[in-house]
Amino acid sequence: MPRQVPLQEFVVGGWLSSDKAGRDLRSLLVGYYDGNKFRYAGKIGTGFNAKNTAQLLALFEKNAADASPFETLAKGIARGVHWVKPEIVVEAEFATWTHERVIRHSSLEGVREDKQAKNVISETPIDAPNEPNKVSATPQAKPSMKASKQTSDPTYSGIKLTHPDRVLWPDAGITKGMLANYYAAVAPLIMPHIVNRPLSLVRCPDGAEGKCFFQRHMGQGLTKAVESVKIRGDKNPYLALEIHPWGAQADDPEHADRIIMDFDPGDAVEWNSVKAAALECRQRLADMGLESFVKTTGGKGLHVVIPITRHHEWPEVKAFASALSSTMAADNHIYITKMTKSARRGRIFIDYLRNDRTTTAVAPYSTRARVGAPIALPIDWSEMRNLPSGNHFTMATIDKRLSAKRADPWAEMTQIKQRLTAKAKKAVGLG
């Protein structure tokens, strides 16, 4: 069944042991970062199993601390707690926040070794405007990624951009104005992949080299051009902007319309092996009668994306992605389906977990908050042969790509009508 309650990341600051037979953990004390302050968010007391308990106890041993890492704690909470450094990120379901900003009825979903603790904040919603002004894809400023001194604040679809000369990527010299012009230039290309989708946003108030955080819900500092989308089972509205979209439409969030296979190489993996992995996945899908597309991630890996019609609920899609990744891992030792970083060296992690309700993946044409200002860019399968890396396309080089006026590699994605057939499921051992 689809998820019915909010889901969020938290950072563990302490834990309580259990005196019950067969149970080592009673609860986790978790929190979030508010600037440099680590705020208490409550306890997680359910959702433990043999696997995640063993994983957590091993992490607690490595990160043990002598004192509470929380900014403040109410009287009596600290009794009997084993403290740990606030570096372990977990994901949990919970019913609601109390007025004291403490979670209620929470349950552990898992450990997130792919998340940085400092990026975990409280996702506090604000009311969305009743009649938000929509942003069109047509800019009033001329698209140009080249650096130039702005004499006045440029305007995009009636929205004034303040401080356009503010540097966002110091290492690459990319300014706020250049970023806005880039999105104006690629608006016709990116809009088909983000319009009418619940979206999340990576926000970097101090630029790419400062602290960044992953925001799912409406928050302060957003223009009235941002709309909200109400998701069933979540009292907080999701953003309707860009950068990290769901694999579903906002008007039908319970049914996926895209499957994403994320090929993430560990240390000591050659780039050619990553390309071979994506090509192998494409061939396996083609043998099932499924067409797929590929994009760089702006990082070390590649995404293979399979468009599907909106007939599949999330558990079905996740099961297929999991089975496909397991099948590939069973046939070739270089692939791994566990996110444990210690096991990834020399291997390629196939992240199928992006195919679940509330999870997201970086949007095509989205910039990344990383060194060099890379871009997650859709490419044609024929370009794989000479593709030098997953972060090859950047804000500094994208002008040449766009000026070439080549056909959009993903132009046909929204037109393809295909489903997970019995043949496809059987090929990965389902059904």
Residue 132, pLDDT score: 31
| Mean pLDDT of the 294-321 span | 95
The amino acid present at 38, given as its one-letter code, is F
pTM recorded for the entire structure? 0.62
Residue 404, pLDDT score: 78
- Domains along the chain? 7-119 (2.40.50.140), 155-245 (no CATH), 252-427 (3.90.920.10)
Residue pair 390/301 in contact (Cβ under 8 Å)? The answer is yes
Angle at CA 246, nearest 5°, toward 245 and 252? 125
The strand pair at 348-351 and 335-336 is best described as parallel
- Measured CA to CA, the distance from residue 95 to residue 103 in angstroms comes to 7
- Of 23-32, 68-77, 148-157, 332-341, the poorest mean pLDDT is in 148-157
Residue 168, pLDDT score: 81
Q: Say which residue the tokens 């012009």 belong to.
A: 181
Residue 138, pLDDT score: 35
Q: Which residue has the higher pLDDT, 283 or 140?
A: 283
Q: Which residue has the higher pLDDT, 258 or 2?
A: 258
- pLDDT per residue over 53-70, tens digit each? 999 999 999 999 999 999
Residue 153, pLDDT score: 67
Residue 43, pLDDT score: 93
Residue 388, pLDDT score: 96
Residue 84, pLDDT score: 96
Under the banding of pLDDT at 50, 70 and 90, the label for residue 28 is very high
| Mean pLDDT of the 82-89 span | 95
How remote is the C-alpha of 208 from its chain's centroid? 16
Q: Say which residue the tokens 């607690």 belong to.
A: 60
- Residues near 166 by Cβ (< 8 Å), separated by ≥ 6? 175, 176, 207
CB neighbour class for 400 (10 Å; exposed up to 12, middle 13-18, buried from 19): exposed
Strands in 226-326 per DSSP E:
227-229, 238-240, 244-245, 248-249, 252-265, 293-296, 302-313
Name the strand (E) or helix (H) holding 314: helix 314-331
- Measured CA to CA, the distance from residue 80 to residue 309 in angstroms comes to 52
- Measured CA to CA, the distance from residue 428 to residue 417 in angstroms comes to 21
Backbone angles phi, psi at 89, to 5 degrees: -100, 130
- pLDDT per residue over 194-217, tens digit each? 887 776 655 555 555 555 444 554
Under the banding of pLDDT at 50, 70 and 90, the label for residue 224 is low
Q: How many CB atoms lie within 10 A of CB 44?
A: 25
Percent with pLDDT over 90 in the chain: 42
Q: Which residue has the higher pLDDT, 106 or 11?
A: 11
Q: Which residue has the higher pLDDT, 318 or 180?
A: 318
- Measured CA to CA, the distance from residue 248 to residue 356 in angstroms comes to 10
Residue 241, pLDDT score: 34
- pLDDT per residue over 266-287, tens digit each? 999 999 999 999 999 999 999 9
CB neighbour class for 359 (10 Å; exposed up to 12, middle 13-18, buried from 19): middle
Query: Which pair of tokens denotes residue 394?
Result: 């950047």
Q: Rounded mean pLDDT of the chain?
A: 81
